[in-house]
Structure 1
Amino acid sequence: MNRSLASGVFSVVSAKIIVLFVTALSTPLLYRFLGASAFGEYAILLSVFAIYMIFISSGITDGVRKFLAEDRGVANWSEHVVGFYFRLAVLLSVLGALLLVIATRFGLVSAAFGSELSVYFYVLAALVVSAQFRDYARKTLMGFGLERYSEPLKILDKVGFVVIAIPLTYAGVGVMGALAGHLIASLLVAAVGLTLVHRQVPLSCVFSSPPERFPRKKMLTFNSMSIALIFLLMSLYHIDIMMLHRFRESAAVGNYKAALTIAEFLWFVPMAIQTVFVHSTSELWSQNRLREISELASRTTRYTFLVTAVMAVGLAALADVAVPLYFGVEAMPAITPLLLLLPGALGFALARPILAISQGEGTLRYPVAATGGAAMINFVLNAVLIPPFGMEGAAIATSIGYGSMFLFHCWSARHVGFDPLADARLVRATLTAVLAAGPILALSTVITNPWIALAVVPPVGLLIFVTFALLVGALDPAEPFEVLSAFPDPIGAKADEVYRWLVGGESTEASPNWLQSLLFVAGLSLLLSGLAFGILEPGIQTVAP
């Protein structure tokens, strides 16, 4: 991973951490201020809006960042790309907003979602336009490689939403207050983002016509395939909520959405990598650097597995503690769906970087087919399991659908032309997760005070997990510092010093015996698990709060 690529990932990850933190603070407040039923209505509206915006926005945002990143021999290439997609953004957003207003005015929305939700669709119509240019501005800046600008805009969007929505919902405005937060925040981000784009390329390019050799047809073809891909992806995110709304009351939808919100915290690093890889790997594909792409994909798969697995184990260990503290006692029904969603969320996390690299190649036939297979499994299982089992059925169906994404996209990657499993070490990574799960779950069971558990289990669990990863060979000692050395200074410089010291000091004679390390890890895992479940007696007493 070169420094420029790592810098982009670092910018996106940093922004996602901040957004994750703000989301983590605001979501339980929204849940409490709205209540489970209104929160369920809010979740349904956002799901409908997300799927609707696929046809308005996804081809534009993916297209502008991909084609801006390509090195073309066309004069004023950047100006023509920016102008082409700006004109398309205006046309589609205006048509999309008008269609939504017409559908609401003539009762189509009431027939589909109920009369109590129809008034909110007028706000969603305005949000179509503001969200279109918010996303267009951000993705254009990413296409220029300016993640240092695009990612703070994402933070501004989230903070702006929270500053407006939380007081309004607290004051009793309800779902309308939450939607107003999205609308005003997206307007602000669109204005700031387009100003930053104008500094790179004058927006007067909107009025200039590109030359005959400008690849309009290829760009529109990419748009249509991108729309199909994003639609299938969004169906994985939202079809369970929409189907659950049909068969269960709004409170069940609200609690299920709470479980999804926590499970999706696993994705912030994979999503950051996916966001950067689409346009960053386009250059590697254009230069036919297939070996480098396979190396990048397989190492990313391994790192993603390790990072996401330790988070999933930690969430499983603390679910009984974290959910009621986070959302309140009313959200206790969300615990079981959360546990059922975690395995699938891990599989989806692994699929994200692979999908992004496939998108960078530009031929989306195989990624669309792979995502379509997972989406079909997800849809069928939700239709079968939700009516009899409700939230738990939706969680099982969605988890299987999520997990199948990894298998399908490994198949897709082979057809696209790279191998995401070349250095993935999946057996060792899986062994690490299995062996570490025992001690981490044991630790959470032994500590009976919930606040102490929240303070102790995550850092100690991470230490246990990393130790096991090193012992079984899922992670080499120098690798974390090699990755960090590509990041901006001072992190990069300090990590590079440690990496060079570790590489220079490596000795094959001093390397640990793999079987001895495995036996040690297994013994420690069994010991701590025995302490937790009463098979062995600990030498200390714990006091309940």
Structure 2
Amino acid sequence: MGTFLANKALTLISAVLLARLLGTEGYGKYAFAIAILNLITIPAQMGVPRLSMREIARSCARSEWALLRGFRRRALQMSLISTIVGAVVIGGGIFVFSDGLEAFDAMTFAAALFLLPLFVGLALASSFLRGLRKVVHGNWPNNVLQPALFVVFLFAMAQGLSAPSAVLLNALSNAAALGVTIWLLVKYWPRETSAVEPEYRTSDWAKSLLPFSLLAGARLITQKSDIIMLGAMTSAASVGIYNIAIQAAALVAIPLSASNAVLAPNIARLHALGDMRGLQRLLTNTTMVVSGLSLIGCIILVGLGQWLLQLFFGNDFIGAYGAMAVLAVGQVINASAGSIGQFLSMTGHEKDTVKVIGGSAILNIVLNAILIPPYGILGAAIATSASLATWNIALSILLYRRLGLIAGPVGKFLAKRA
């Protein structure tokens, strides 16, 4: 929990610094390049980090050291090949077809490509550590050390900072975090693997990659499609202002994100015991707390939003208020359903989650295409909040059909009548 909260605080501090130092246009170029890069990481990772956690944990539990050594080698090979292909094919294609992207800056994106192998390597090394049950060691370099170093570098290089140099400072902080993560991985990697020949189940691993890739890709598209489409249709300044709206509204989502981080083991335990009443109590009680805290955060943002934007980000970013308010309301709607995605995933219904998130991603793209041209950043915010609400309604229906659980605070009353 401490790692999670530290990451949120450091991310917000870096956003404040970037907005202050780069201005609306420079920050927009930076945010647009990072958003595109995040989309490239989908094919570059191919779901390998998520698969790694499962396979490494399974191999260690069964003392299958030969298989563990073989998986590590295959995972590294797949990640290396896909990263090169992603950088050359997708990155090169974006350069070729970048004329229609209003917020695209060639120098900033070229600098961002240096981040691709660092993003992939850090995600992979972190997942290896989590698979070894070194969860804290797998999280703090990426979630605390990297953003902390980025903040320090921004302070140190404040004078004359540009969008490309900000991306390179980001790359430098990621490189340091990757170095520490690799050192920890070498330290904790099972020594038994060095005495065996590697064993491979490449076809089985390859088949398992598809659902992991689809889930990660759908989530990321849902999160980034508004920035990408806004940058393609409007200007870098609009992207910069909208990204601040996202960062501010994300504060409302902190209670739900924190809940998701700690609920998974309890959900799995109660489901294994067949305690459906316990699951309903867990869902209802956590939802009441999360939705209440989120509502308080939303009221503060809506009531004091313009003053807070001016205080922390400057006069140029006051225009983010309308989009921020809409996104904050969307996060309250999201929180009011509770951690329904976790409840479905941890009880064996992850395929339902993938389908709903995929449909939400498509809806988000369609709504952005319709609403951004006439309404700009406000249209992007409406599209994102609408797709988020639809996502939660669909998951709530599936949760009731699959498990008989009622989402939302009202579940406390409706469950008793059922």
TM-score after normalising by structure 1: 0.67
Segments of structure 2 that go 5 or more residues without pairing to the other structure are 414-418
Q: 2:240 aligned with 1:251, yes or no? A: no
SS at structure 2 position matched to 1:241: helix
* Residue 300 (structure 2) aligned to one of 302, 307, 314: 314
Residue equivalent to 1:84: 71
Deviation at 1:319, TM superposition (A): 0.8
Q: Within 5 Å, give how 1:509-520 maps onto structure 2.
A: none
* Residue 251 (structure 2) aligned to one of 265, 272, 280: 265
* Residue 131 (structure 2) aligned to one of 143, 166, 176: 143
Residue equivalent to 1:426: 410
Q: Distance between the aligned counterparts of 2:191 and 2:41, measured in 1? A: 24
Does the aligned pair in 1 maintain the 2:28–2:103 contact within 8 Å? no
Residue equivalent to 1:119: 107
The residue type paired with residue 367 of structure 2 is L
Q: Within 5 Å, give how 1:18-29 maps onto structure 2.
A: 18-29=6-17
SS at structure 2 position matched to 1:210: coil
Does the aligned pair in 2 maintain the 1:68–1:143 contact within 8 Å? yes
Deviation at 1:254, TM superposition (A): 0.9
SS at structure 2 position matched to 1:419: coil
Residue equivalent to 1:453: none
Residue equivalent to 2:224: 238
Q: 2:166 aligned with 1:182, yes or no? A: no
* Residue 338 (structure 1) aligned to one of 298, 315, 324: 324
Deviation at 1:14, TM superposition (A): 1.0
Deviation at 1:272, TM superposition (A): 3.4
The residue type paired with residue 42 of structure 2 is I
SS at structure 1 position matched to 2:198: coil
Say if 1:175 and 1:418 are closer, same or farther in 2 by CA, change over 3 A.
farther
Q: Deviations over 1:370-396 (max 9, x none)?
A: 112322332222111111111111111
* Residue 227 (structure 1) aligned to one of 213, 226, 235: 213
Residue equivalent to 1:369: 355
Does the aligned pair in 2 maintain the 1:374–1:408 contact within 8 Å? no
Does the aligned pair in 2 maintain the 1:366–1:416 contact within 8 Å? no
Say if 1:303 and 1:205 are closer, same or farther in 2 by CA, change over 3 A.
farther
Deviation at 1:45, TM superposition (A): 0.9
* Residue 52 (structure 1) aligned to one of 36, 40, 59: 40
The residue type paired with residue 165 of structure 2 is G
Residue equivalent to 2:144: 155
Kindly name which structure, 1 or 2, has the bigger radius of gyration based on alpha carbons.
1
Q: Distance between the aligned counterparts of 1:112 and 1:205, measured in 2? A: 51
Say if 1:161 and 1:97 are closer, same or farther in 2 by CA, change over 3 A.
farther
Q: Distance between the aligned counterparts of 1:364 and 1:113, measured in 2? A: 35
Does the aligned pair in 1 maintain the 2:287–2:335 contact within 8 Å? no
Q: Distance between the aligned counterparts of 1:373 and 1:115, measured in 2? A: 27
Q: RCO higher in 1 or 2 (8 Å CA, sep ≥ 6)?
A: 2
Deviation at 1:121, TM superposition (A): 3.6
Q: Distance between the aligned counterparts of 1:188 and 1:279, measured in 2? A: 31
Q: Give the paired residue count.
A: 410
Q: Distance between the aligned counterparts of 2:271 and 2:96, measured in 1? A: 45
Q: 2:375 aligned with 1:389, yes or no? A: yes
Q: 2:48 aligned with 1:64, yes or no? A: no
Deviation at 1:110, TM superposition (A): 3.2
Deviation at 1:301, TM superposition (A): 2.7
Deviation at 1:205, TM superposition (A): 4.2
Does the aligned pair in 2 maintain the 1:371–1:405 contact within 8 Å? yes
Does the aligned pair in 2 maintain the 1:69–1:280 contact within 8 Å? no
SS at structure 2 position matched to 1:425: coil
Residue equivalent to 1:540: none
Residue equivalent to 1:303: 289
Q: Deviations over 1:471-492 (max 9, x none)?
A: xxxxxxxxxxxxxxxxxxxxxx
Say if 1:158 and 1:208 are closer, same or farther in 2 by CA, change over 3 A.
farther
Residue equivalent to 1:108: 96
Of 18-27 and 328-337, the range deviating more from structure 2 = 18-27
The residue type paired with residue 426 of structure 1 is V
Deviation at 1:258, TM superposition (A): 0.8
Of 79-88 and 315-324, the range deviating more from structure 2 = 79-88
Q: Distance between the aligned counterparts of 1:220 and 1:73, measured in 2? A: 21
Does the aligned pair in 2 maintain the 1:36–1:255 contact within 8 Å? yes
Say if 1:323 and 1:232 are closer, same or farther in 2 by CA, change over 3 A.
same
Does the aligned pair in 2 maintain the 1:244–1:386 contact within 8 Å? yes
Deviation at 1:98, TM superposition (A): 4.2
Q: Distance between the aligned counterparts of 1:265 and 1:208, measured in 2? A: 49
Say if 1:26 and 1:99 are closer, same or farther in 2 by CA, change over 3 A.
closer
Q: Distance between the aligned counterparts of 1:115 and 1:405, measured in 2? A: 29
Deviation at 1:416, TM superposition (A): 4.7
Deviation at 1:61, TM superposition (A): 2.3
Q: 2:18 aligned with 1:34, yes or no? A: no
Deviation at 1:251, TM superposition (A): 1.0
SS at structure 1 position matched to 2:199: coil
Q: Distance between the aligned counterparts of 2:27 and 2:3, measured in 1? A: 26
SS at structure 2 position matched to 1:119: helix
The residue type paired with residue 410 of structure 2 is L
Does the aligned pair in 2 maintain the 1:347–1:403 contact within 8 Å? yes
Does the aligned pair in 2 maintain the 1:373–1:408 contact within 8 Å? no
Deviation at 1:303, TM superposition (A): 2.6
The residue type paired with residue 129 of structure 1 is P
The residue type paired with residue 156 of structure 1 is L
TM-score after normalising by structure 2: 0.85
Say if 1:115 and 1:392 are closer, same or farther in 2 by CA, change over 3 A.
closer
